[in-house]
Amino acid sequence: MNDDVYLDNNATTMVDPAVVDEMLPYFTLQFGNPSSIHSFGNTVGRSLKKARQQVQDLLGAEHDSEIIFTACGTEADSTAIMSALKAQPDRKEIITTVVEHPAVLSLCEYLEKDGYTVHWLKVDGKGRLDLDVYARLLEERADHIAVVSVMWANNETGTIFPVEKMATMAVDAGVMFHTDAVQAVGKIPMNLADSDIDMLSLSGHKLHAPKGVGVLYLRRGTRFRPLLRGGHQERGRRAGTENVASIIGLGKACELASQKMEYENVEVKAMRDRLQEGILSAVTHCFPTGDVENRLPNTCNIAFEYIEGEAILMLLNKAGIAASSGSACTSGSLEPSHVMMAMGIPYTAAHGTIRFSLSCYNTMAEIERVIEAVPPIVAQLRKLSPYWGENGPIEDPAKLFAPTYA
């Protein structure tokens, strides 16, 4: 532990010490293979069942057999989409959105090249979907669509999509519905038993469990084809010896997330709101991106006009503050993120977006420290910016940017 402030929890989270405690015996004394029929295996098998129930409880799923452990969120996403295509070979179309995480986006782009048709739902300036467009698409193409895959919450802006409503619309049209809920699980309450969602992906390392473990929720009765074939683990739906310790950790993390749900939505949200208000009131020419009225309680993404997000990040890092300039996968690239571009954020602002993502481990004192650190960093960078003059932005800097990206 050090004094640095970690505000990059949408990239990954610290494993909760109580989760580590729960996991430790499964590296040593409890080392049995849960598939073995002797006592070593049986004890571990019972612990896996408990973890499955803990996940079931957090999701509000009907039955623990609906929980399939995977190696990560990406695997759960791929399994869901590929299963829907394999199980319905006569359906060659997919509906998804332009703002998905690469785990879904890249797969759909690949499938497009492979001959499938992907209907990409666009978003408006606040990152919201147009449900009329979606309804029309379902009406016109329902018989051809294998699956709708729409993220529950966006990893960059925290914007929440109305997936429960969208699932009902899909299921009414006879179409399977999957949601990538990697960012939403543990941050907002869920009750899958009362929804029409057929499949849902989650990832351990976003909710204080270890990296390298995830879950595919598969509603009972949903047609399914495994991605990995081999042993009979996970009832034959995901072959491969289970990552026992991490699964135990994920179960514990889900139990803790249920207990902390209110704290997340009251205290963490209050810290996020204070952070945003503190920055917006001290810095000119910056604005929050996404649907600020309808977003995850821990996330705020602020666009600082006329400066580079990467430069802000470097100076923040020097000041002992860790944030991100988009999703973990896009930071490092000089192109603005696909999410900002999809919302039509101008280049002069899209290049300067910073995502602050909090967790229950942050404190108000840390937030005040960030609020103090940001304005001088922005001022320092704007002094160096060719688009910033003595009295603020120089005349129409958008024109200056335009030729580079024409």
Q: Looking at the annotation, which residues are catalytic?
A: 329
Strand pairing of 176-180 and 286-288? unpaired
Determine contact, residues 61/192, Cβ cutoff 8 Å: yes
Part of the chain binding ligand PLP (CB under 6 A), chosen from 37-45, 68-76, 115-123, 289-297: 68-76
Residue 254 engages ligand PLP in binding (rule: CB under 6 A): no
Sheet containing 299-304: order of strands: 286-288, 299-304, 353-357
Q: Minimum distance between the CB of residue 89 and ligand PLP, rounded to whole angstroms?
A: 26
Determine contact, residues 297/368, Cβ cutoff 8 Å: no
* Token representation of residue 101: 């995480």
Strand pairing of 117-121 and 145-149? unpaired
Q: Minimum distance between the CB of residue 394 and ligand PLP, rounded to whole angstroms?
A: 37
Residue 101 engages ligand PLP in binding (rule: CB under 6 A): yes
Task: Name which of residues 42 to 61 contact ligand PLP (CB under 6 A).
Answer: none
Task: Name which of residues 201 to 220 contact ligand PLP (CB under 6 A).
Answer: 203, 214
Classify 56 in phi/psi space as left (phi over 0), alpha (psi -120 to 50) or beta: alpha
Residue 74 engages ligand PLP in binding (rule: CB under 6 A): yes
Residue 180 engages ligand PLP in binding (rule: CB under 6 A): yes
- DSSP of 31-57: ---TT-SSHHHHHHHHHHHHHHHHHHH
End-to-end, the C-alpha distance of the chain in Å comes to 46
Task: Name which of residues 281 to 340 contact ligand PLP (CB under 6 A).
Answer: 327-328
- Taking the least distance from each CB to ligand PLP, the nearer of 203 and 362 is 203
Burial profile 312-330: b = 16 or more Cβ within 10 angstroms, e = fewer: bbebbeebebebbbbbbeb
Distance (Å, whole) CA 333 – CA 350: 13
Q: Minimum distance between the CB of residue 69 and ligand PLP, rounded to whole angstroms?
A: 12
Part of the chain binding ligand PLP (CB under 6 A), chosen from 72-80, 217-225, 265-273, 277-285: 72-80
149 SS3 class: strand
Q: Minimum distance between the CB of residue 230 and ligand PLP, rounded to whole angstroms?
A: 21
Part of the chain binding ligand PLP (CB under 6 A), chosen from 180-188, 244-252, 270-278, 315-323: 180-188
Q: Minimum distance between the CB of residue 247 and ligand PLP, rounded to whole angstroms?
A: 14
Determine contact, residues 147/178, Cβ cutoff 8 Å: yes
Part of the chain binding ligand PLP (CB under 6 A), chosen from 66-74, 87-95, 219-227, 281-289: 66-74
Residue 13 engages ligand PLP in binding (rule: CB under 6 A): no
H or E element: which one contains 331?
none
Q: Minimum distance between the CB of residue 323 and ligand PLP, rounded to whole angstroms?
A: 15
Position among 68, 137, 182, 377 found at the interface with ligand PLP (CB under 6 A): 182
Task: Name which of residues 152 to 171 contact ligand PLP (CB under 6 A).
Answer: 155
- The residues binding ligand PLP (CB under 6 A) are 72-74, 101, 103, 151, 155, 180, 182-183, 203, 214, 327-328
